[in-house]
Amino acid sequence: MIGEARVSVARRVTGIGTKSVSTGKKILILIGFCTAQLLDVTTTHIGLSQGRQEMNGIAAWIIQHNGELAVYALKLSLVAGLVGFLLVFGRSRAVWNAYLIAAWITTFAVINNLYRLLT
């Protein structure tokens, strides 16, 4: 009886985190991540064109030294690299969850940008 319980628990423990992410969820996460990034660039551009300051210190430094287009090119290059990484190494559920969290964080940045634009 104890041996059977031990085997049952061992199966459940080794199965934790191995459940794969469905294709539909992967597509939703990927679209959400890319959309959030594009909205962030768009709202940042609108804010900068209205004379507002960039809140990200690194991006502000790049804009000051290399111009606005340089920071957009860098951001979009990084996003393309991250999407490529996701497509190559996206077998782990943890990787997809990390991108989902990143999409939400960027969404909050977009909401902040919109708030600043409307006030």
Domain spans of the chain? 20-118
pLDDT (0 to 100) of residue 89? 84
**Long-range pairs of 71-74 with CB within 8 A, sequence gap ≥ 24:** 72/41, 72/45
pLDDT (0 to 100) of residue 4? 67
- What is the pTM assigned to this prediction? 0.76
Give the span between the Cα atoms of 82 and 78, in whole angstroms. 6
Given a cut of 90, whether residue 102 has pLDDT beyond it is yes
Given a cut of 80, whether residue 114 has pLDDT beyond it is yes
pLDDT (0 to 100) of residue 80? 94
pLDDT (0 to 100) of residue 119? 87
Given a cut of 90, whether residue 78 has pLDDT beyond it is yes
Given a cut of 90, whether residue 108 has pLDDT beyond it is yes
Tokens 């551009």, residue located? 45
Give the span between the Cα atoms of 2 and 45, in whole angstroms. 64
Q: What does the chain come to in residues?
A: 119
Given a cut of 60, whether residue 14 has pLDDT beyond it is no
Portion of the chain with pLDDT greater than 90, in percent: 66
pLDDT band at 113 (very low <50, low <70, confident <90, very high): very high
Mean pLDDT for the chain overall: 87
